[in-house]
Amino acid sequence: MENEISNEYIENAINELENFFGVKEPVFDENIFSLIKNDKIKDAIKLIAHQLGLPIDINITNVPNDYKSQNSDNQFHSTHLAKVHRCGSGNEGIIAQVTIPGSVPFYGSSALNGYPINVKISDNCTEHPVAFAMIMAHELSHVLLYSLNHLKKENEFYTDLTAIMQGFQNIFQNGREITKTDVEYGFVSTTTKTQTTTYGYLNDNQFNFARNKINSILEKNRKRKKLLSNELKKFAKLLLKYEKTLFKFKIFLEFLTKNTNKRISDDDSKKMMAFFQLGYISELDLLLKEYKGKQKIIQNFFEELSHYTKQKINQLSIYTKDLKTYSDKLKIKLVPLSKDTKMLKKYISYKYRTKVFSSLLFKRDKKIIYFI
């Protein structure tokens, strides 16, 4: 079966699935492995389901290692996905079986929340956490495809590719082949028995081709995300400059309002009169508040972006362009504000300016923006 598909078939499947699901960054697999190692199997399976966007509940039944499916009533995906090559005896690999009812709710509907999915697992599932995680990612990808009534919901190659593209790339790479070695010591000689169990439907060449294709898609989207990161950094730096300048402007103006004994030139006095017009200061504050709000929205989007769908890629492009526009507008607003602040500064004592500078340092320390 593993040689029945070509690289062209795999590439077309990946392109189709990308348009349908998008592609995700690799999941942090240690969280899953830790749960499996601590025998928290249900939690591990739910974490895998969550990565696939399935808010389902899991009902687990433990079965002997040599269990074979005898259920033919339901749409039943039953496979240990294992091909065993061994010298000597050994077990037949990890078994996992997922029952998929014909009435599984549609993906994204509220009916899917807590929807029970029955899973049968072999007693040896915790022996190799990475292989077990790989198997469950494959089996639950069937549930995902069924919940969307996808045309290829029963296609094992599409199911493997779906799981890999939804963040389980590293798990598939590391869990595809498990080797177990047993050493038997006799009176005269020592016998070593080695069993290698291979999981998955893609052979090595097919998997490597698929992984490279998916990595190229991820790399392209990471570059787009990097462009957004760069624009965010530029905008944050500019916004901080505007905030500091506005802070100094308001402090200097307040000082001169309270210290009327300062001798101010006629030209500067005329300029300062405009500062006291109704709405002048509030307009400057409003601009800062507006841009801070925009910055927060885009920053949150950036930090949470690990799933590259068509919609999110389009939004990424829009935000990148928006930030350039915001920066250009802020630069224009910053020119007269800086000029007016510099004018006010002429009438402020060195001692008071030092006090203002210390206040700015404190504000900077209290507010830190992190970028990835």
pLDDT tens digits in sequence order for the chain, 372 residues long: 445 789 999 999 999 999 999 999 999 999 999 999 998 999 999 999 999 999 999 998 887 766 555 444 444 344 434 443 333 333 445 667 788 887 889 998 999 999 999 988 877 777 888 988 998 999 999 999 999 989 999 899 999 999 999 999 999 999 887 656 555 555 555 444 444 567 778 999 999 999 999 999 999 999 999 999 999 999 999 999 999 999 999 988 988 888 877 788 889 888 899 998 999 999 999 999 999 999 999 999 999 999 999 999 999 999 999 999 999 999 999 999 999 999 998 888 777 777 766 666 555 544 433 332
Q: What DSSP designation does 278 have?
A: T
C-beta atoms surrounding 354 within 10 Å: 10
Q: Supply the pTM of this predicted model.
A: 0.81
The secondary structure element, H or E, covering residue 96 is strand 96-100
C-beta atoms surrounding 161 within 10 Å: 28
Distances (CA, A) of 142 to 2, 252, 266: 18, 66, 79
pLDDT of residue 261: 79
Retrieve residue 133's tokens. 């995680």
For 67, phi then psi, to 5°, come to -65, 140
Q: Is-contact 135 80, C-beta < 8 A?
A: yes
Cα separation of 101 and 74, whole Å? 6
Q: Is-contact 93 197, C-beta < 8 A?
A: yes
pLDDT of residue 371: 34
Cα separation of 94 and 132, whole Å? 7
Buried b (16+ CB within 10 A) or exposed e, 106-143: ebeeeebeebebbbbbbebbbebbbbbbbbbbbbbbbb
Q: What is the DSSP string of 26-48?
A: PP-HHHHHHHHHTT-HHHHHHHH
Q: Find all residues with CB under 8 Å of 348, minimum gap 6, and list them.
A: 252, 255, 256, 356
Coil, strand or helix: which one is 228?
helix
C-beta atoms surrounding 24 within 10 Å: 21
The secondary structure element, H or E, covering residue 266 is helix 266-275
Q: Strand 82-86 and strand 307-308: pairing?
A: unpaired
pLDDT of residue 98: 84
Cα separation of 242 and 104, whole Å? 54
Identity of the amino acid at 124: N
Q: Which residues pair with 193 in a beta bridge?
A: 182
Q: Find all residues with CB under 8 Å of 232, minimum gap 6, and list them.
A: 295, 298, 299, 302, 323, 371
pLDDT of residue 82: 40
pLDDT of residue 366: 47
Query: Using CB atoms within 10 A of its CB, is residue 368 exposed (0-12), middle (13-18) or buried (19+)?
Result: exposed
Name residue, tokens 């080695």. 194
pLDDT of residue 359: 67
Q: What is the DSSP string of 321-368?
A: HHHHHHHHHHHHHHHHHHHHHHHHHTTS-HHHHHHHHHHHHHHHHH--
pLDDT of residue 197: 65
For 295, phi then psi, to 5°, come to -60, -40
Retrieve residue 27's tokens. 């999941």
The closest alpha carbon to 57, from 45, 74, 66, 68, belongs to 45
